[in-house]
């Protein structure tokens, strides 16, 4: 009679303990080992022979002479990481942004909801979010002395149209027309445009060098890359195929030439392309899709894995180019998570 009583009491105690432990690692929270960041890549430059400049530091105060010559660190990139105490992802997951943007692409969404960084942390990955050369915390360098050419600033109209939010842009939000059925939270468009970061058209080689150094430092890893970042990720994978355990290409806009790429090197780098909705309404995106498909086919032909998800073909409609900010961003991320799990990359 006493033995069952002990058993029952112990069972209750064990159940209470389990419930407490479950709360400790629950969906409400993450067990984080460390947050941190670093700069990687880049080079030292010394400028000399430039004339002094006059700078007015406070309105009304006399100009101060400034000597612009000296030593500068340039062309590095920035990465911020959140490492879990007990990750389920077998390698870190790196999120690479697209053109005219930086890492916050993947952080909290313009509508205030959690973005893909938080989604993949909750799935148990160590997550890295980077800023490419010239963007955000990577910093930028004097031009034309170091960066060649001038910075390009994206207008609201270009963002609205290029990212497939709508076809009729107006400065007055009330007069904008969004694509029918769009998942993008158009009421948060103004918040989204605050993420725009000037870009240069002339920094591809430096950006590639920094990404290569980043892969060399942060990987083995999974890379989830968006838009303009695609070309850099494919090139880094060609350089370090053993370090890239999978590559997810989210509406990537560029790639090495599919006619000459050395696809044999990518045979063991499984790849997945993800495409949103409305592509058929945009010749610009159709052309990009076609070239990306040629690149994907090259991998398949070489005996590698090149999968593709076109969301509307899966019954998921209304996704823009910025699908990580769309209302159903978690639904899209869940497809990526499943594909990564199917590749054996999740414990």
Residues in region 59-118 near its own copies by CB under 8 A: 59, 66, 68-73, 76, 78, 80, 82, 85, 102-104, 107-108, 112, 114-115, 117-118
Q: How many residues bind its own copies (CB under 8 A)?
A: 85
Specify the stretch interacting with its own copies by CB under 8 A; choose among 11-19, 238-246, 286-294, 299-307.
11-19
299-328 residues near its own copies, rule: CB under 8 A: none
Select the residue interacting with its own copies from 51, 57, 62, 260 (CB under 8 A). 57
Nearer to its own copies, 27 or 313 (CB): 27
Q: How far is the CB of 314 from its own copies (least distance, A)?
A: 28
Q: How far is the CB of 308 from its own copies (least distance, A)?
A: 27
* Maximum separation of any 2 CA atoms in the chain, in Å: 95
**CA 119 remoteness from chain centre:** 13
120-179 residues near its own copies, rule: CB under 8 A: 121, 131, 136-137, 139-142, 149-153, 155-158, 171
199-238 residues near its own copies, rule: CB under 8 A: 201-202, 204
Q: Which helix (H) or strand (E) holds 274?
A: strand 271-275
Q: Is the dihedral of CA 139, 243, 129, 252 positive or negative?
A: positive
**Residue 231 near residue 252 (C-beta atoms within 8 A):** yes
20 binds its own copies (CB under 8 A): yes
The rounded distance, in Å, linking the Cα atoms of 275 and 202 is: 27
Nearer to its own copies, 149 or 344 (CB): 149
Collapsed DSSP state (helix, strand, coil) of residue 80: strand
The rounded distance, in Å, linking the Cα atoms of 43 and 219 is: 21
Q: What is the DSSP letter of 64?
A: E
The rounded distance, in Å, linking the Cα atoms of 230 and 218 is: 18
């Amino acid at each position: 009679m006493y033995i069952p009583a002990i058993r029952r009491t112990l069972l209750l105690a064990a159940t209470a303990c389990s419930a407490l432990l479950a709360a400790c690692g629950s969906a409400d929270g993450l067990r984080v080992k460390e947050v941190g960041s670093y700069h990687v890549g880049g080079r030292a430059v010394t400028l000399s022979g430039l004339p002094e400049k006059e700078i007015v530091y406070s309105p009304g105060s006399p100009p101060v002479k400034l000597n612009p010559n000296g030593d500068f660190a340039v062309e590095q990139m920035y990465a911020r990481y959140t490492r879990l105490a007990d990750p389920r992802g077998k390698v870190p997951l790196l999120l690479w942004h697209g053109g005219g943007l930086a890492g916050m692409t993947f952080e909290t969404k313009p509508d205030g909801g959690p973005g893909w960084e938080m989604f993949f942390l909750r799935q148990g990955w160590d997550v890295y979010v980077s800023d490419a050369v010239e963007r955000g915390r990577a910093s930028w360098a004097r031009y034309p002395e170091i960066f060649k050419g001038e910075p390009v600033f994206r207008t609201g109209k270009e963002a609205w149209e290029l990212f497939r939010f709508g076809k009729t842009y107006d400065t007055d939000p009330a007069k904008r027309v969004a694509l029918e059925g769009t998942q993008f939270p158009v009421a948060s468009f103004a918040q989204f445009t605050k993420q725009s970061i000037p870009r240069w058209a002339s920094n591809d080689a430096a950006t590639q060098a920094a990404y290569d150094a980043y892969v060399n430092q942060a990987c083995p890893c999974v890379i989830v890359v968006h838009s303009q970042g695609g070309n850099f990720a494919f090139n880094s994978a060609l350089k370090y195929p053993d370090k890239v355990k999978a590559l997810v290409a989210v509406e990537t806009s560029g790639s090495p030439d599919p006619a000459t790429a050395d696809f044999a090197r990518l045979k063991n780098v499984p790849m997945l392309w993800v495409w949103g909705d409305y592509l058929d309404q945009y010749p610009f995106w159709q052309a990009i899709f076609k070239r990306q498909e040629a690149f994907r086919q090259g991998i398949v032909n070489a005996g590698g894995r090149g999968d593709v998800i076109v969301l509307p073909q899966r019954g998921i409609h209304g996704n823009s180019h910025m699908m990580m900010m769309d209302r159903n961003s978690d639904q899209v991320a869940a497809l990526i998570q499943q594909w990564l799990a199917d590749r054996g990359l999740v414990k």
